[in-house]
Structure 1
Amino acid sequence: MVDSAHKHLAHLAAFNAEPVVFFTVVTAGRRAVLACAEAYDVLRGLWERSAQANQWWVGDYLLMPDHVHFFARAGRGADTMKNWVQMWKSVSARMLLKRLRLGPPFWQEDYFDRYLRSSENYSDKWAYVQANPVRAGLVAQTEDWLFRGRIHDLRF
Protein backbone atom coordinates (compact mmCIF):
# COMPACT_ATOMS: atom_id res chain seq x y z
CA MET A 1 0.00 0.00 0.00
CA VAL A 2 1.35 3.45 -0.93
CA ASP A 3 1.32 6.04 1.82
CA SER A 4 -0.26 9.13 0.24
CA ALA A 5 0.78 11.23 3.23
CA HIS A 6 4.47 10.62 2.46
CA LYS A 7 6.38 13.85 2.88
CA HIS A 8 9.20 14.67 0.50
CA LEU A 9 12.39 16.25 1.72
CA ALA A 10 12.72 19.92 0.87
CA HIS A 11 14.89 20.69 -2.13
CA LEU A 12 18.24 22.25 -1.45
CA ALA A 13 18.85 25.81 -2.53
CA ALA A 14 20.00 26.22 -6.12
CA PHE A 15 23.61 25.28 -6.63
CA ASN A 16 25.89 27.88 -8.15
CA ALA A 17 27.28 26.74 -11.51
CA GLU A 18 30.69 27.93 -10.32
CA PRO A 19 30.63 27.06 -6.63
CA VAL A 20 33.24 27.90 -4.04
CA VAL A 21 35.08 24.80 -2.88
CA PHE A 22 36.75 24.38 0.51
CA PHE A 23 39.94 22.30 0.31
CA THR A 24 42.19 20.61 2.85
CA VAL A 25 45.46 19.14 1.59
CA VAL A 26 47.84 17.30 3.94
CA THR A 27 51.58 16.65 3.72
CA ALA A 28 52.82 13.08 3.36
CA GLY A 29 53.25 11.51 6.78
CA ARG A 30 51.85 14.74 8.22
CA ARG A 31 55.35 16.25 8.11
CA ALA A 32 55.33 19.69 9.74
CA VAL A 33 56.95 21.58 6.85
CA LEU A 34 54.37 24.12 5.65
CA ALA A 35 54.50 26.83 8.32
CA CYS A 36 57.47 28.60 6.76
CA ALA A 37 58.17 31.43 4.33
CA GLU A 38 59.32 29.05 1.57
CA ALA A 39 56.06 27.06 1.52
CA TYR A 40 53.99 30.23 1.84
CA ASP A 41 55.76 31.88 -1.11
CA VAL A 42 55.62 28.80 -3.36
CA LEU A 43 51.93 28.06 -2.75
CA ARG A 44 50.81 31.68 -2.96
CA GLY A 45 52.77 32.15 -6.18
CA LEU A 46 51.24 29.07 -7.81
CA TRP A 47 47.74 30.03 -6.70
CA GLU A 48 48.17 33.63 -7.92
CA ARG A 49 49.03 32.32 -11.39
CA SER A 50 46.19 29.76 -11.36
CA ALA A 51 43.51 32.28 -12.34
CA GLN A 52 45.23 33.05 -15.64
CA ALA A 53 46.78 29.65 -16.32
CA ASN A 54 44.06 27.25 -15.12
CA GLN A 55 40.92 29.34 -14.52
CA TRP A 56 40.98 28.58 -10.78
CA TRP A 57 40.70 31.49 -8.36
CA VAL A 58 41.96 30.99 -4.80
CA GLY A 59 40.41 33.10 -2.06
CA ASP A 60 41.36 32.81 1.61
CA TYR A 61 44.02 30.29 2.60
CA LEU A 62 45.85 29.21 5.74
CA LEU A 63 48.92 27.01 6.06
CA MET A 64 49.26 24.88 9.18
CA PRO A 65 52.50 22.98 9.82
CA ASP A 66 51.23 19.76 8.19
CA HIS A 67 48.23 20.81 6.08
CA VAL A 68 46.72 23.69 4.17
CA HIS A 69 43.13 24.94 4.03
CA PHE A 70 41.90 27.17 1.23
CA PHE A 71 38.84 28.23 -0.73
CA ALA A 72 38.78 28.27 -4.53
CA ARG A 73 36.38 28.67 -7.42
CA ALA A 74 36.72 27.35 -10.96
CA GLY A 75 35.86 29.61 -13.85
CA ARG A 76 34.36 28.67 -17.20
CA GLY A 77 36.78 26.51 -19.14
CA ALA A 78 38.76 25.67 -16.00
CA ASP A 79 40.91 22.60 -15.62
CA THR A 80 39.07 19.85 -13.78
CA MET A 81 39.44 20.03 -10.02
CA LYS A 82 41.45 16.82 -9.98
CA ASN A 83 43.86 18.02 -12.68
CA TRP A 84 44.29 21.45 -11.13
CA VAL A 85 45.01 20.09 -7.65
CA GLN A 86 47.37 17.49 -9.12
CA MET A 87 49.21 20.22 -11.05
CA TRP A 88 49.86 22.60 -8.16
CA LYS A 89 50.68 19.74 -5.78
CA SER A 90 53.20 18.34 -8.27
CA VAL A 91 54.86 21.69 -9.00
CA SER A 92 54.92 22.76 -5.34
CA ALA A 93 56.30 19.36 -4.29
CA ARG A 94 59.23 19.63 -6.72
CA MET A 95 60.00 23.17 -5.60
CA LEU A 96 59.62 22.57 -1.87
CA LEU A 97 61.44 19.24 -1.75
CA LYS A 98 64.43 21.02 -3.27
CA ARG A 99 64.20 24.21 -1.20
CA LEU A 100 63.57 22.41 2.09
CA ARG A 101 66.01 19.57 1.29
CA LEU A 102 63.47 16.83 1.87
CA GLY A 103 62.90 13.42 0.34
CA PRO A 104 59.67 12.57 -1.46
CA PRO A 105 56.76 12.36 -1.24
CA PHE A 106 55.72 15.84 -0.18
CA TRP A 107 51.90 15.60 -0.25
CA GLN A 108 49.45 12.86 0.59
CA GLU A 109 47.91 11.45 -2.58
CA ASP A 110 44.35 12.52 -1.89
CA TYR A 111 42.71 15.73 -0.65
CA PHE A 112 39.44 16.79 0.93
CA ASP A 113 37.01 19.05 -0.91
CA ARG A 114 33.60 20.39 0.03
CA TYR A 115 31.27 22.57 -2.02
CA LEU A 116 29.93 25.60 -0.16
CA ARG A 117 26.41 26.87 -0.73
CA SER A 118 26.43 30.36 0.79
CA SER A 119 28.54 33.23 2.02
CA GLU A 120 27.45 32.31 5.54
CA ASN A 121 28.83 28.81 5.05
CA TYR A 122 32.10 30.36 3.80
CA SER A 123 32.31 32.77 6.75
CA ASP A 124 31.67 30.03 9.30
CA LYS A 125 34.26 27.74 7.72
CA TRP A 126 36.85 30.55 7.48
CA ALA A 127 36.34 31.53 11.14
CA TYR A 128 36.91 27.90 12.15
CA VAL A 129 40.02 27.60 9.94
CA GLN A 130 41.54 30.85 11.25
CA ALA A 131 41.25 29.54 14.80
CA ASN A 132 43.31 26.41 13.99
CA PRO A 133 46.68 27.94 14.95
CA VAL A 134 45.20 29.12 18.27
CA ARG A 135 43.65 25.71 19.01
CA ALA A 136 47.00 24.08 18.18
CA GLY A 137 48.80 26.40 20.63
CA LEU A 138 50.92 27.99 17.89
CA VAL A 139 49.77 31.57 18.54
CA ALA A 140 47.66 33.40 21.11
CA GLN A 141 45.38 35.17 18.59
CA THR A 142 44.32 34.35 15.04
CA GLU A 143 45.80 37.55 13.64
CA ASP A 144 49.24 36.54 14.97
CA TRP A 145 49.48 33.63 12.49
CA LEU A 146 51.65 34.72 9.55
CA PHE A 147 50.91 31.92 7.10
CA ARG A 148 47.50 32.97 5.80
CA GLY A 149 46.08 35.41 3.31
CA ARG A 150 43.64 36.13 0.51
CA ILE A 151 44.38 36.19 -3.19
CA HIS A 152 40.91 36.79 -4.66
CA ASP A 153 37.62 37.88 -3.12
CA LEU A 154 35.28 34.96 -3.85
CA ARG A 155 31.75 36.39 -3.83
CA PHE A 156 28.47 34.55 -3.68
Structure 2
Amino acid sequence: MTQYRRVYAPGATWFFTVNLAERKRNTLLVDKIDPLRQAFRKVKQRHPFDINAIVVMPDHLHCIWTLPEVDTDYSIRWNLLKGQFSRSLEKGERISASRMSKRERGIWQRRFWTHLITDQEDFNRHVDYIHWNPVKHGIVKQVADWPYSSFHHYVRLGVYPETWGHNGKFDFEAGE
Protein backbone atom coordinates (compact mmCIF):
# COMPACT_ATOMS: atom_id res chain seq x y z
CA MET A 1 0.00 0.00 0.00
CA THR A 2 1.34 3.42 -0.93
CA GLN A 3 1.94 5.83 1.92
CA TYR A 4 0.95 9.40 1.16
CA ARG A 5 2.69 12.09 3.12
CA ARG A 6 1.14 15.47 3.48
CA VAL A 7 2.90 18.58 4.61
CA TYR A 8 1.19 20.59 7.34
CA ALA A 9 2.24 24.14 8.16
CA PRO A 10 0.44 26.44 10.62
CA GLY A 11 -1.29 29.37 8.95
CA ALA A 12 -0.15 28.31 5.49
CA THR A 13 -1.81 29.00 2.16
CA TRP A 14 -2.67 25.98 0.01
CA PHE A 15 -3.81 25.26 -3.53
CA PHE A 16 -6.19 22.28 -3.80
CA THR A 17 -7.70 20.20 -6.57
CA VAL A 18 -10.64 18.06 -5.49
CA ASN A 19 -12.41 15.72 -7.93
CA LEU A 20 -15.65 13.83 -8.10
CA ALA A 21 -15.28 10.06 -8.17
CA GLU A 22 -17.05 9.82 -11.53
CA ARG A 23 -15.78 12.71 -13.63
CA LYS A 24 -16.82 11.73 -17.13
CA ARG A 25 -19.79 13.86 -18.25
CA ASN A 26 -20.61 14.64 -14.63
CA THR A 27 -22.06 18.08 -13.84
CA LEU A 28 -22.96 17.44 -10.21
CA LEU A 29 -20.99 20.31 -8.64
CA VAL A 30 -22.62 23.03 -10.75
CA ASP A 31 -26.02 21.30 -10.74
CA LYS A 32 -25.90 21.28 -6.93
CA ILE A 33 -24.01 24.55 -6.39
CA ASP A 34 -26.27 25.72 -3.54
CA PRO A 35 -25.69 22.62 -1.35
CA LEU A 36 -21.97 22.92 -2.13
CA ARG A 37 -21.96 26.56 -1.02
CA GLN A 38 -23.86 25.59 2.11
CA ALA A 39 -21.30 22.86 2.87
CA PHE A 40 -18.49 25.43 2.60
CA ARG A 41 -20.36 27.82 4.92
CA LYS A 42 -20.98 25.17 7.57
CA VAL A 43 -17.41 23.91 7.59
CA LYS A 44 -16.02 27.47 7.74
CA GLN A 45 -18.19 28.15 10.80
CA ARG A 46 -16.79 25.16 12.69
CA HIS A 47 -13.23 25.29 11.33
CA PRO A 48 -12.45 28.80 10.01
CA PHE A 49 -10.29 29.38 6.95
CA ASP A 50 -10.10 31.98 4.19
CA ILE A 51 -10.95 31.11 0.61
CA ASN A 52 -8.52 33.22 -1.41
CA ALA A 53 -9.68 31.95 -4.82
CA ILE A 54 -12.01 29.26 -6.12
CA VAL A 55 -13.50 27.83 -9.26
CA VAL A 56 -16.20 25.19 -9.20
CA MET A 57 -16.20 23.12 -12.36
CA PRO A 58 -18.86 20.54 -13.26
CA ASP A 59 -16.77 17.61 -11.97
CA HIS A 60 -13.96 19.13 -9.89
CA LEU A 61 -12.93 22.27 -8.10
CA HIS A 62 -9.76 24.23 -7.48
CA CYS A 63 -9.24 26.61 -4.62
CA ILE A 64 -6.70 28.41 -2.52
CA TRP A 65 -7.20 28.48 1.24
CA THR A 66 -5.33 30.18 4.04
CA LEU A 67 -5.62 28.52 7.42
CA PRO A 68 -5.57 30.34 10.77
CA GLU A 69 -2.11 31.03 12.22
CA VAL A 70 -2.19 28.15 14.70
CA ASP A 71 -3.98 25.61 12.49
CA THR A 72 -2.55 22.99 10.12
CA ASP A 73 -5.51 20.71 9.51
CA TYR A 74 -6.92 21.26 6.04
CA SER A 75 -7.70 17.52 5.79
CA ILE A 76 -10.44 17.69 8.42
CA ARG A 77 -12.00 20.57 6.55
CA TRP A 78 -12.08 18.61 3.28
CA ASN A 79 -13.43 15.55 5.06
CA LEU A 80 -16.22 17.56 6.64
CA LEU A 81 -16.96 19.49 3.45
CA LYS A 82 -17.18 16.36 1.30
CA GLY A 83 -19.37 14.67 3.93
CA GLN A 84 -21.68 17.66 4.34
CA PHE A 85 -22.17 17.97 0.58
CA SER A 86 -22.65 14.21 0.12
CA ARG A 87 -25.29 14.03 2.85
CA SER A 88 -27.26 16.77 1.09
CA LEU A 89 -27.67 14.57 -1.99
CA GLU A 90 -30.04 11.71 -2.63
CA LYS A 91 -28.35 8.33 -2.73
CA GLY A 92 -28.10 6.53 -6.04
CA GLU A 93 -24.55 7.01 -7.30
CA ARG A 94 -22.44 4.01 -8.30
CA ILE A 95 -20.54 2.73 -5.28
CA SER A 96 -17.53 0.43 -5.60
CA ALA A 97 -17.21 -2.70 -3.46
CA SER A 98 -14.36 -1.17 -1.45
CA ARG A 99 -16.43 1.93 -0.71
CA MET A 100 -19.43 -0.20 0.19
CA SER A 101 -17.35 -2.20 2.67
CA LYS A 102 -16.33 1.06 4.36
CA ARG A 103 -19.87 2.49 4.17
CA GLU A 104 -18.69 5.37 1.98
CA ARG A 105 -20.63 7.23 -0.66
CA GLY A 106 -19.33 7.31 -4.23
CA ILE A 107 -19.43 11.08 -4.74
CA TRP A 108 -15.82 12.23 -4.27
CA GLN A 109 -12.42 10.81 -5.02
CA ARG A 110 -10.88 9.85 -1.70
CA ARG A 111 -7.71 11.84 -2.18
CA PHE A 112 -7.13 15.42 -3.22
CA TRP A 113 -4.15 17.27 -4.60
CA THR A 114 -2.35 19.89 -2.51
CA HIS A 115 0.36 22.42 -3.17
CA LEU A 116 1.85 24.66 -0.50
CA ILE A 117 1.92 28.22 -1.82
CA THR A 118 5.48 29.45 -1.33
CA ASP A 119 5.43 33.14 -2.26
CA GLN A 120 3.42 35.89 -3.95
CA GLU A 121 4.41 34.82 -7.47
CA ASP A 122 3.33 31.26 -6.74
CA PHE A 123 0.04 32.57 -5.31
CA ASN A 124 -0.60 34.79 -8.35
CA ARG A 125 0.10 31.96 -10.81
CA HIS A 126 -2.28 29.61 -9.02
CA VAL A 127 -5.02 32.25 -8.82
CA ASP A 128 -4.62 32.77 -12.58
CA TYR A 129 -4.77 29.01 -13.13
CA ILE A 130 -7.97 28.76 -11.09
CA HIS A 131 -9.67 31.53 -13.03
CA TRP A 132 -8.49 30.24 -16.42
CA ASN A 133 -9.72 26.68 -15.76
CA PRO A 134 -13.20 26.97 -17.38
CA VAL A 135 -11.58 28.23 -20.60
CA LYS A 136 -8.90 25.53 -20.44
CA HIS A 137 -11.62 22.86 -20.30
CA GLY A 138 -13.58 24.45 -23.16
CA ILE A 139 -16.65 25.20 -21.07
CA VAL A 140 -16.57 28.92 -21.88
CA LYS A 141 -14.64 31.05 -24.34
CA GLN A 142 -13.94 33.88 -21.88
CA VAL A 143 -13.05 33.73 -18.18
CA ALA A 144 -15.76 36.26 -17.30
CA ASP A 145 -18.46 33.95 -18.71
CA TRP A 146 -18.09 31.31 -15.98
CA PRO A 147 -20.30 32.17 -12.97
CA TYR A 148 -18.79 29.72 -10.42
CA SER A 149 -15.50 31.49 -9.92
CA SER A 150 -13.90 34.03 -7.64
CA PHE A 151 -12.77 35.82 -10.82
CA HIS A 152 -15.77 38.15 -10.52
CA HIS A 153 -14.75 39.11 -6.97
CA TYR A 154 -11.21 39.84 -8.19
CA VAL A 155 -12.65 42.05 -10.95
CA ARG A 156 -14.68 44.01 -8.36
CA LEU A 157 -11.48 44.47 -6.32
CA GLY A 158 -9.68 45.80 -9.41
CA VAL A 159 -7.16 42.92 -9.53
CA TYR A 160 -8.26 41.80 -13.01
CA PRO A 161 -9.95 43.69 -15.80
CA GLU A 162 -13.24 42.12 -16.92
CA THR A 163 -11.52 41.15 -20.18
CA TRP A 164 -8.61 39.26 -18.56
CA GLY A 165 -7.79 36.12 -20.50
CA HIS A 166 -9.65 37.16 -23.64
CA ASN A 167 -6.51 36.70 -25.72
CA GLY A 168 -6.81 32.95 -25.22
CA LYS A 169 -3.30 32.49 -23.85
CA PHE A 170 -2.37 30.91 -20.58
CA ASP A 171 0.33 28.27 -20.26
CA PHE A 172 0.66 27.46 -16.57
CA GLU A 173 -0.27 23.93 -15.48
CA ALA A 174 -1.14 23.26 -11.86
CA GLY A 175 -2.37 20.00 -10.39
CA GLU A 176 -5.46 18.59 -12.06
Same fold at TM > 0.5: yes
Which amino acid letter does the alignment assign opposite residue 28 of structure 1?
Answer: A
When you count strand as a share of all residues, which structure comes out higher? 1
Match for residue 66 of structure 1? 59
Match for residue 48 of structure 1? 41
Unpaired stretches in structure 1, ≥5 consecutive residues: 1-15
RMSD across aligned positions (CA):
2.5
Q: Distance in 2 between matches of 1:149 and 1:140?
A: 17
Match for residue 146 of structure 2? 145
2:82 to 67, 89, 102: 89
3-state secondary structure, aligned to 1:148: coil
Instruction: Give the direction of change, closer, same or farther, for the CA distance of 1:51–1:87 in structure 2 (3 Å limit).
Output: closer
TM-score (norm 2): 0.65
Q: Percent identity?
A: 24
TM-score (norm 1): 0.73
Equivalenced residue count is: 133
Match for residue 33 of structure 1? 27
Whether 2:119 is the aligned partner of 1:118: answer yes
Preserved contact between residue 54 and residue 61 of structure 2 (Cα < 8 Å): yes
Higher Rg: 1
Unpaired stretches in structure 2, ≥5 consecutive residues: 1-8, 94-104, 155-176
Greater relative contact order structure (CA < 8 Å, 6+ sep): 1
Q: Distance in 1 between matches of 2:123 and 2:92?
A: 34
